[in-house]
Amino acid sequence: MIGAAAHEDDLTRVELTWVEKKVEYWIRFGHEAGTQILDRNRRIVSFRPGAVFAFVRWAANDYGTVISRIDILRAVAPGCAYQTLPFVRPGGEILLKAESWPKVEDVLRHVDAIEALGVDPAEADHDHWRHVAHWMNAGETPHPYTTERHQAWLRRREIAP
C-alpha cells in the first residue's frame, strides 16, 4: 500500500522479478514507500523522492549469466531530470552502477561494511557512492566509508537545502 503522505505520481517504481536461478531482481537496501504484488514471481516496490536504494539484477539462461548489475539510485521528484533504467519508472539519479558479478560482489561487500558500522546504506553520503563507482571504474579500491564521514554528511544535510 502507498502511504497517504506520498502522491502516487511522485513515486519511483521498481519492478522486481524472482524466478530462482533464472531471473533474480531485488532491492538490496532502501526504504520502500509501498509494495504491489503482481503475481508469485513479480512485485512492484515504490520509493518516495529523495530515497536512495540499491537495485540488483541478475539473470541467466542455459549457457550462463546474461546480466549481473547493481545500481544505487536516488528517486527523483516530479519535474526533475533523471536517467532511465529498465524496470525503474520513471527513472532515477544513478549514484553508482556496476556490471559483472565480481564488481557487483565488490559493491555488496562495500554495502555490508557500511552496515557493519551501524549505518543504513540508504542514509550514506551520496558522494560516497559516486566515489565508489569512480574508483571501481578505474580498477582501484575505493576508500571505506567511515563514521566520521557519515557524521560530516549528516551535519552537511542539516545546513544545506
pLDDT digits (tens, 9 = 90+) for 12-52: 999 999 999 999 999 999 999 999 999 999 999 999 999 99
DSSP strand pairing (83-85 vs 52-61): unpaired
Mean pLDDT of 114-127: 97
Cell numbers for 71: 545500481
More confident residue, 4 or 148: 148
pLDDT at 3 over 70: no
The confidence band for 9, taking pLDDT boundaries of 50, 70 and 90, is confident
**What is the average pLDDT across 53-81?**
95
Query: Distance between CA atoms of 105 and 1, rounded to whole angstroms?
Result: 32
Predicted confidence band of residue 10 (pLDDT cuts 50, 70, 90): very high
Q: Where are the alpha helices (DSSP H) in the chain?
A: 101-116, 126-137, 147-159
Q: Determine whether 74 is exposed, middle or buried from the number of CB atoms within 10 Å of its CB (0-12, 13-18, 19+).
A: buried
- The rounded percent of the chain whose pLDDT value lies above 90 is 92
Task: Using alpha carbons, select from 13, 86, 17 the residue that is nearest to residue 53.
Answer: 13
Residue 7: the pLDDT is 57
| Mean of pLDDT over the chain | 93
Q: What is the mean pLDDT of residues 128-140?
A: 96
Select from 75, 72, 1 the least CA-distant residue to 43.
1
161 has pLDDT over 80: no
